[in-house]
Amino acid sequence: MLPSIRPDDYFLDLSRAAIGDTAFWDESIPAWIVFRSPIEILQTNDLGEVLGILAKVENHRNSGRWAAGYLTYECASALNPAITTKPSSTAPLMWFALYESEPTFHRELLPPENSLTVEDLTPELELSAYKIAFQTVKQHLAEGHSYQVNFTFRSRFNLVGNPEDFFSDRCGVEPPRHAAYLKTDVAAIASFSPELFFERLGENIHMRPMKGTAPLSQPANDMRHDPKSVAENVMIVDMVRNDLGAICETGSISVPHLLEVERHRNLYQMTSTVSGRSSASLTDLLTAIFPAASVTGAPKVKTCQIIQDLEISPRGIYCGAIGFIGPGIERFSVPIRTAYLPRDGWAEFGVGSGLVWDSEVEAEYLECLLKKDLLLQSGRPWRLVESIPAHKVQEAYVRSRHLDRLSRQAQLLNIPFDRELLDSVLARREPTPLHPLQKVRIELEPNGGTYVEVSPSMIQTPRISATLAKSPVNPTDPNLRLKTTSRSVYQRRLDEHPDFDEVLLVNSRGFLTEFCSGNLVLKLDGRLYTPSREQGALQGISISEMIDRGEVTIRDLTPDDLKHGEAIYFLNAVAGLVPVDFEYPAIIKPTRP
C-alpha cells in the first residue's frame, strides 16, 4: 500500500540528520524514504570482512527489520577474487546501518537557507592525459581484450557550506530517480544517481542498466538510431542477462523494456530493463552481478583488470552500490554522479563513459564534463504557487479567492504568509490586455519570502489537444492537492506525449484526476462533471466557483466515461473553459457507427 504523508511530515529537514541516518528517493510513491536512529553500524576496511557483514545485514532483514548502506566498487574483489581493484584509502570499503524502526516518508526536501559554493573543482585528468589513456583503451579493444571499457576519473573540490544543504540544493524539486543521502561518522554521501542497479520484490528481480548519453539539444529519438548508443546498451544488456543467468530460475530472464530514452536534468540517457526470478541470498546475488555491468564493460573480469591498470585512483563509493533492504524488498542504485563529502579534506565526484571501438576522444571527454556539471547546478527550489489572470488582478474579489487558497495551503504547511502586504502589492499592479493571455504568478518560499512575476499563459488557443497519461499517479500524493513548483509528476507525463498540448491523469485506483495544469470537466448526458479531491484532483478557483453555483457536479470518473462524453473541457482560472480534442488510447477508443 502506498503511504499517506501527514502535513507535519511533508518536508524532510536534512539539517537534523544524525550519524547513521539515510534517505532514499522513491519516484514510484513519490516520496523520500528515511531511516533514522540505527541500533548498530557495520563497517570495515578489510576485504576479508565484507562477506561476513553482508551476512549480518541479511540476517537482520530476515528478522523483519531494515538496513541501509553502501558497498564501494572495491568490494568486488571480496565478492569475486578474480576481479582486481585498487586499494581504497578513503571511505570504508562498506558501511551499513541496521534499524529497528520502520522508515518514515516525506514528500519534499526542505530547501536550504544557507548559501554554498563549489570551489577549486579540479579533474584528476585533463584532456591531454585523458587522450593517452583513451589510446591505451583503444589498443585493448583492437587486440580483443575487451569490447567496451567504462573508463572513469575523479574530480576533487572544496565545498563551502554543509553537505545537507548541498544535497537539498542540488536535488531541488526534481531529485534524480535514485537519489540518496547517507551520513556516516567520517563523511556524507550525496548521490544523485539516475540508475537502478537492482530491485528485488519477493523473488522478482529487475535491473535497469543505463548506457548511452546525449545532450538535451539532440532530439531524444536520435539516440534510438545512434549506432554507438544502441551498441553500448545492447552489449551491457547481454552482460546483465548473463550475470542474472547465474542465479535466476531457468527461463525466467526477460527484457521487458529495451532502448528506452529518459530525460535526466541536462542529459538524455538510454536504459533497458532486464528481469528474472531468484531466491538466492543477497550475498550470492551480489556475487553474480557486482559490480554493475554498466560501469565496468565486457567481458567483466578482464575489463576490470584494464580499469585497475589505467585509472589513477580508487573509485570508492562511485560505481559501487547504495541502497536498502527490508521485509520483501532489496533496492540498490549504481552510485554514479555521487559526491563523497568528508568531514575533513577534499570532496570527490566521479565521472566516466563507456568506450567502444568507434568512440571519439573529444566527445567522450565532453560527456564526462557534462556529468560533472551537476555539481554546479542548483535544482529548482520548492515554493507554493498561485496564478491570477493578469487582466483581472485589480479586481478585489478575484485576488481574494486566489489569496484564500494560497493562505490555506501556507497554513497547512506552517509557512508564514503576509497576506495583506501581498494583496496591496497586487492591487497596485497595472492590468494587462486580455490578449495574449497572461498570468500574475506568485511563489511563496517555506520561510515566507514572496516572488511575483507576470508570464504568458501556457494556453493561447481556443482549443487544445490532449491524451491519457501512460502511467498512473498516486492518489495519496500530497502534491496533487497543493499547487507548487514541484511538478515532476506532471512534467514526466507531458514529456511522454510531446505532440499534445495537455495530458489527462489517471490514478492507481483507475479514476481520472485532472490535466497537468487544469481541471477536467466532462459533459455526460447533458450535465457537467469533474473528479473529486479524494481521487487526486486539485480543485482550482474556477472549478470551485462552478461547483458552488451548481453548474458542475463532483463525480468519480473513469477513462471509460470519456468515450461516452459529449464534450471534454480543460479549465483553469487563466485560460477559462477550453474545449479539448481528445485522442483516445487504443484501450478506450470509442467505436464509431
pLDDT tens digit at each of 593 positions of the chain: 467 788 899 999 999 999 999 999 999 999 999 999 999 999 999 999 999 999 999 999 999 999 999 999 999 999 999 999 998 767 799 999 999 999 999 999 999 988 889 999 999 999 999 999 999 999 999 999 999 999 999 999 999 999 999 999 999 999 999 999 999 999 999 999 999 999 999 999 999 999 888 877 777 777 888 888 898 899 999 999 999 999 999 999 999 999 998 887 777 889 999 999 999 999 999 999 999 999 999 999 999 999 999 999 999 999 999 999 999 999 999 999 999 999 988 999 999 999 999 899 999 999 898 888 777 889 999 999 999 999 999 999 999 999 999 999 999 999 999 999 999 999 998 878 878 899 999 999 999 999 999 999 988 899 999 999 999 999 999 999 999 999 999 998 998 898 899 999 999 999 999 999 999 999 999 999 999 999 999 999 999 999 999 999 999 999 999 999 999 999 999 999 999 999 987 544 333 33
Q: How far apart are CA 261 and CA 551, in angstroms?
A: 43
464-588 CATH, one of 3.40.50.40, 1.10.287.110, 3.90.1200.10, 3.20.10.10: 3.20.10.10
Residue with cell 470537466: 521
Phi and psi at residue 292, to the nearest 5°:
-60, 140
211, 300, 302, 439: the catalytic one is: 211
C-alpha cell at 123: 579533474
Beta bridge partners of 214: 268
Side chain identity at residue 335, one-letter code:
P
74, 164, 195, 386: the catalytic one is: 195
Residue with cell 478506450: 588
Q: What stretches of 265-363 adopt beta strand conformation (E)?
A: 267-277, 297-298, 321-326, 329-333, 338-342, 347-355
Residue 371 known to be catalytic: no
Q: How far apart are CA 540 and CA 382, in angstroms?
A: 20
Domains 7-376 and 464-588 share a fold: no
Other CB atoms within a 10 A radius of the CB of residue 405 amount to 18
Instruction: Choose among 167, 47, 154, 195: nearest CA to 109.
Output: 167
C-alpha cell at 59: 540476517
Q: How far apart are CA 516 and CA 506, in angstroms?
A: 11
Break the chain into its structural domains and give their ranges. 7-376, 384-456, 464-588
Residue 302 known to be catalytic: no
Q: 7-376 is classed in which CATH architecture? A: 4-Layer Sandwich (3.60)
C-alpha cell at 299: 567481458
197 touches 24 (CB < 8 A) = no
